[in-house]
Amino acid sequence: MQETRLPQTIMERLAPQDFVERLAALTTGYTPDLQQELQEPAYYDRPVLAEPVWHWEIIWYFFFGGLAAGCYIIATIAALFGSREDRAVVRTGYYLSLLALLPCPVLLIKDLGRPERFLHMLRMFKVKSPMSMGTWSVVTFSFFSGTTAIIQAARDGLLGRWWGARLLAALPQKLIALPGVAVGFFLGSYTGVLLTATSVPLWSRSKLLGGIFITSAMSTSSALISFVLRLTNAVVPRFIVGNSLHKLERLEWAAMLIEMTGILAFLHESGRAARPLVGTAPTEHGMTFWRFCFGTGLVLPWLLQTLSLLGGRGSRRIGRGLLISVLVLVGGYFLRRTMIEAGHISSKDARTTLWNAKR
């Protein structure tokens, strides 16, 4: 009990409710005025919209899908532009991409009302529907991620020394990865576009969610790759990661900076519609969002990363590096979780929905 209480107490000290409430008002530019809102006409406060049926499956899919896309993109950039020592990044990135991708179809199919009809998704190629395009991007990306990882495995000697493995190793991995990266960027961002193309005020008022999700995919992926590289380095000292970690950390630092800017712009544009995400009312998710997504998931690791980068290569320690990675990964998960769960609250808020429809 003591252990579970402790982080809570620290959080209450660092981010008390009135502070979070002031943050919410400041970032959204909207201070809730209950009297004013009650003057607005509505029908017994019954929701205007139907509640989304998306729950934990979709949250984890968004998280893993982002990792699969981000790891693939980073690995390919390292393969095309990196040096010889960056081959550890390439290898780790391609394997992690495939690993993160594996649960995605399972989660997506489980989420359907009629899972046995999942192939009906491939009846159409509908540019107007992000759900249709997203399904196609998952299918296409599976091909690229699978192929690239198998080639990598063949080159690493994991498939043995027979002629088939030699043939696979000879395939042009970089050439295959080029279109794969484009699909990867699509996979990492379409989830945000999918949420934007709905009627839920929180998701649709600002148009930045796609950009935020792909940026978060990059920050969490560089965190995951550097986490694995650092661990491998600690366990196998011969395994040299050299300058690669430094490159990954700089990418992670920049992605986090863009992500924070994007989220602040998102909140500013959404205004009142962002309340379920940032507010502190019992139904609103602000306490979780500010503490675990924005606070310890972005601002804290970004500051730690800044210290590390300023301190030069010598001052970096394994512990701090691993901690930054874990914080970023947890923050990325909570970004998706609070966004989906606050979307449920947003869909139930009749007055804000009606306000959102006045133009």
Partner 1 sequence: MAVEPQRAARQPGSHNGVNPLQAAVSSLVGSKVPPPPSQPAMGFFTDTSLCIGCKACEVACKQWNQLPAKDPVWTGSSYDNTGALGAITWRHVQFIEQIGDGYQGDRKGSSLPDTKFEDRVAEAKSSGTIPQVPPGTALPFFNTDRWLMRSDVCKHCANAPCQEACPTGAIIRTEFDTVYVQQDICNGCSYCVVACPFGVIARDEAGTHTARKCTLCYDRMKDGMVPACAKACPTDSIQYGEVDKLKAHARERLGILHERGVGEARLYGVDDDILEGGLNSFFLLLEEPEVYNLPENPPRPSNNVVPASFWSIVAALVLGMLGIVFFRE
3-class SS string, 51-79: CCCCCHHHHHHHHHHHHHHHHHHHHHHHH
Which of 65, 66, 262, 286 contacts partner 1 by CB under 8 A? 262
Name which of 15 and 89 has its Cβ closer to partner 1.
89
Does position 113 interact with partner 1 (CB under 8 A)? The reply is yes
Q: How far is the CB of 236 from partner 1 (least distance, A)?
A: 23
User: How many residues contact partner 1, by CB under 8 A?
Assistant: 81
Name which of 171 and 197 has its Cβ closer to partner 1.
197
Name which of 72 and 227 has its Cβ closer to partner 1.
72
**Residues between 222 and 241 with contacts to partner 1, criterion CB under 8 A:** none
Contact pattern for partner 1 over residues 324 through 353, marking x by CB under 8 A: -------------------x---x--x--x
Structure-token pair, residue 51 = 């509640």
Q: How far is the CB of 286 from partner 1 (least distance, A)?
A: 22
Contact pattern for partner 1 over residues 189 through 218, marking x by CB under 8 A: xx-xxx-xxxxx--xx--xxxxxxxxx--x
Name which of 211 and 301 has its Cβ closer to partner 1.
211
The span from the CA of 202 to the CA of 205, in Å, is 6
**Residues between 23 and 82 with contacts to partner 1, criterion CB under 8 A:** 39-44, 46-50, 52-54, 73-74, 77-78, 81-82
The type of residue at 239 is F
**Residues between 122 and 161 with contacts to partner 1, criterion CB under 8 A:** 123-124, 126, 128-132, 135
Going by C-alpha positions, the residue among 142, 74, 75 that lies closest to residue 108 is 142
Which of 86, 284, 341, 349 contacts partner 1 by CB under 8 A? 86
Name which of 14 and 131 has its Cβ closer to partner 1.
131
Q: How far is the CB of 258 from partner 1 (least distance, A)?
A: 7
CB 75 within 8 A of CB 28: no
Structure-token pair, residue 170 = 């000879």
**Residues between 239 and 258 with contacts to partner 1, criterion CB under 8 A:** 247, 250-251, 254-255, 258
CB 331 within 8 A of CB 292: yes
**Residues between 264 and 303 with contacts to partner 1, criterion CB under 8 A:** none
CB 255 within 8 A of CB 350: no
DSSP assignments along 266-332, one per residue: HHHHHGGGGHHHH--STT--HHHIIIIIIIIIIIHHHHHHHHHHHTTTTT--HHHHHHHHHHHHHHH
The span from the CA of 195 to the CA of 61, in Å, is 14
The span from the CA of 249 to the CA of 247, in Å, is 5
**Residues between 304 and 323 with contacts to partner 1, criterion CB under 8 A:** none
